[in-house]
Amino acid sequence: MTALAIFCALVALAIPRFTMQMEKARAGEAVQTLETLLKYQRAYYHEYKAYTNSLNNLDITPRVSNYFNTPTLATADPIVSVQRSDGSYTLRIATTGAITCIPAGGTCGNLGY
């Protein structure tokens, strides 16, 4: 009985850590998308002296994600945003390359953004 109680306690500690590691991996996918789109936004700016708010103007088709909605472009900071498909948080990247997460705290705090 004691061994079972110890095992259950260890499992209870491990599951949240495993879940957060999975979320960090999913967020890593979104960060790659943000960085790629920032690169394309910078190239667009270099050519047209303005950023675009349309994916059609960039010569790229973002990868479809099971975990995030289609990225949103803007003509001012944050230049690209991508929202978690369950709506729990949004990752954004500025023209400087700084990545932020909203809402602050919670999952965003655990992700390090």
Asked whether the predicted pLDDT for residue 35 surpasses 90, the reply is yes
Q: What is the DSSP letter of 55?
A: G
Asked whether the predicted pLDDT for residue 16 surpasses 80, the reply is no
- For range 94-99, the mean pLDDT: 95
Query: What are the chain's domains?
Result: 2-111 (3.30.700)
- Cβ within 8 Å of residue 58, ≥6 positions away: 37, 40, 41, 44, 52, 73
Asked whether the predicted pLDDT for residue 8 surpasses 70, the reply is no
pLDDT band of residue 70 (cuts 50, 70, 90) is very high
Q: How far apart are CA 91 and CA 69, in angstroms?
A: 11
Asked whether the predicted pLDDT for residue 24 surpasses 70, the reply is yes
- For range 72-96, the mean pLDDT: 94
